[in-house]
A = this chain, B = another copy of it.
């Protein structure tokens, strides 16, 4: 007949825990298994609490997606924005940072993969995706511009954008492949491939970025 004892947590902490539990369950068992009861159990609370902090289960899952994207973004930008670096070094770090262990790992990929199928289905997910995608593209584009500024060869805006899209594709593709088949790559190999290819796209001599 005894009720569970429990601890009253602050709102911020509780929401954070619930979102973390959501990402954990999705990473380990997929979106299908991410039910209110599973997530609540993982967070050490009962299901009803979720509706106390979120409008619906779906809204909580959206927040979790937002959180995932935010984490991926932060972990990359940290590497690229250290002070005192040349544009070349920052660009290089930015690209390599996207193929780092902190982003290219089984857990991140599992959650990303679970979500990507929803992007074209659910407008809420589509909006979150687009927002981060465009932000990423612009970041990359501005770093390319700075790099060109540094080397003296500037492309027109339209051309630069095309190149940013291409390099973005390279990063995505190698990230995907590296995540799925980690064993097939040597350490740093994925980053080198992207850097080399980026040199080609940018029309700079081999080694300008990759060395």
- Using CB atoms and an 8 Å cutoff, list the residues of chain A in contact with chain B: 29-32, 106, 109-110, 113-121, 133, 162, 165-166, 168-178, 180-181, 184-186, 189-190, 193, 196-197, 199-201, 206
Q: Is the CB of B116 within 8 A of A113?
A: yes
Sample of 16 A–B contacts (CB below 8 Å): A109-B120, A110-B120, A110-B121, A113-B119, A133-B181, A162-B186, A165-B184, A165-B185, A166-B193, A169-B170, A169-B173, A169-B174, A172-B176, A173-B174, A176-B176, A196-B201
Cross-interface CB contact of A197 among B115, B116, B201, B206, cutoff 8 Å: B201
Contact of A190 among B116, B169, B185 (CB under 8 A): B169
Number of copies: 2
**Closest approach, in angstroms, between the C-beta of A169 and any C-beta of chain B?**
4
Known contacts A30-B118, A110-B117, A199-B200; 6 additional CB pairs below 8 A are A106-B120, A110-B121, A113-B120, A169-B177, A171-B173, A173-B175
Contacts of A113 in B (CB 8 A): 116-117, 119-120
Q: What residues on B are CB-neighbors of A30 within 8 Å? A: 117-118, 121
CA distance A50 to B196 in the complex (A): 51
Assuming the contacts A172-B173, A197-B170, A200-B196, asked whether A117 and B117 have C-beta atoms less than 8 A apart, the reply is yes
Q: Which residues of chain B are near A176, meaning CB under 8 Å?
A: 169, 172-173, 176
A50 to chain B, nearest CB (A): 18
Q: How far is the CB of A175 from chain B (nearest CB, A)?
A: 8
Bound CA–CA A31/B116 (angstroms) = 12
